[in-house]
Amino acid sequence: MRILVTVKHTPDLQSQRSFTDGHVTRSAEDGTMNELDENAVEAALQLVEAAGEGEVYALTVGGPDAVAAVRKALQLGAHHAIHVCDDAIAGSDVFGTAKVIAAAVTKVHEEAPLDLVITGMAALDGLTSMLPTALAAELDWSQLTLASALSVADGEATIERHLPDAHETLSAPLPAVVSVTDEANKPRYPNFKLIMAARKAPVAQWSLTDLGVDAATVGSGAARTSVVDASERPPRENRIKVTDTGDAGTQLADFLIEKGLA
C-alpha cells in the first residue's frame, strides 16, 4: 500500500490570523500543519498498518517555512517527506496549487505506483474544500471526498460520507484521491522517538523545473481570482453581559423582543 498525503502549512487557529497584500500572512512562529490534515495522515498510517506493508509520503507545497508541515507528518509516522518550493508558486489559486500537487503526485507515482492520495477535508485557513476535487480532476483519478470512513479492498476504495440530506456509500477503483473528515479517526500524538527522527529525516526539495510545470501556468499571475481588499472586522459594539440574579432570562427575552427577533 503506497499512499501520499497532502499537508498544508497554515496559521495556527489560536493565533491572530491576518492578510498581507491580499494573501494570508504566514510565518514560521505561529504556523503549523493544518489541523484537519492530521486526520489524513492518520488514515494513511492506519491503512498501511492494517495492510502490514507500505509507505506513506507527506507532501507540502509552500514557501520555506512550509517544511514544518511535512516535519509534523514525519513525527506522526510518515515515511517520506517532499516539499515543493518555488517562488513562482506564490499566490496560486486552488487550480494552480492542484496543478503543482498533481505534478508531484505523478512524479512519485511514476517511480512506483501509488494507491491513494489522502487529503484533509479542508484547510482551516481557507476552508474551500475545493482542492481534493481539483486534484482528482487534474490527475484523472477517482474522487472520493468527505469520507467519515474509508476502507480499501480488491483494488477499490470505499467511503461513507454524511451529507446534510443523505448518508452515502461510494466506491471507486484505485488509484483514488480521498478526502477525510475529522470524524474519520482520532489522530495519534507524535512519539518521542519519531520526533527525534523527524528532525534529521531528509526532506526532498522539488522546484517547478523538477516537476516540469510551466511557471506561467501557476502563481498569482495565473490565478483566476484576486483579493482586492481585506480588512479586519470591527468587534461587535455595545455588547451586553449580565449575570443572572433571578431575572436574566426575562432580560434576554426583552432584548430579543426589542430587536424584533422574538
Partner 1 sequence: MSTVAVLIDHRDGAVTRPSLEALTLARSLGTPVAVWLGAAPGADATAQLGEYGAAEVRVVDGDNLRLSARAAAAVGAASEDAAVLLMISTFVSKEIATRLALATGAGVVVDAAGAELVDGKVETLQTVFAATWNVRSRIESDKAIVGIRPNTTMAAPAQTPGAATVVDIQVDLPETRERVVAVEAVEQGDGVPLAEAPVVVSGGRGTGGDYGLVGELAELLGGAVGASRDATDEGWISHEHMVGQTGTTVTPALYVACGISGAVHHRGGMQASGTIVSINMDPDAPIFDISDFGVVGNLFDVVPQTIARIKEHRGS
Site residues for partner 1, window 51-90 (CB under 8 A)?
A: none
Mark the segment that binds partner 1 (CB under 8 A) among 61-69, 79-87, 139-147, 210-218: 139-147
Shortest Cβ 6–partner 1 spacing (Å): 15
Kindly report the length of the chain: 262
How far is residue 82's CA from residue 190's CA, in Å, rounded to a whole number?
A: 19
Shortest Cβ 33–ligand FAD spacing (Å): 12
- 137-176 mask for ligand FAD (x: CB under 6 A)? ----------------------------------------
Q: CB–CB of 148/133 below 8 Å? A: no
How far is residue 63's CA from residue 111's CA, in Å, rounded to a whole number?
A: 25
Residue 172 makes contact with partner 1 by CB under 8 A? yes
Query: Given candidates 75, 92, 142, 185, which one binds partner 1 under the rule CB under 8 A?
Result: 142
- In the 8-state DSSP scheme, what is residue 202? -
How far is residue 61's CA from residue 84's CA, in Å, rounded to a whole number?
A: 5
Q: Which is nearer to partner 1, 193 or 239 (CB)?
A: 239
Coil, strand or helix at 40: helix
Task: Report CA-CA distances (Å) from 45 to 131, 222, 257.
Answer: 21, 35, 54
Shortest Cβ 36–ligand FAD spacing (Å): 6
Query: Given candidates 20, 50, 173, 191, which one binds partner 1 under the rule CB under 8 A?
Result: 173
Q: Which is nearer to ligand FAD, 20 or 128 (CB)?
A: 128
**Closest-CA residue to 44 (of 87, 2, 97):** 2
Report the greatest alpha carbon distance in the chain. 71
Site residues for ligand FAD, window 26-45 (CB under 6 A)?
A: 35-36
Instruction: Enumerate binding residues for ligand FAD (CB under 6 A).
Output: 35-36, 182
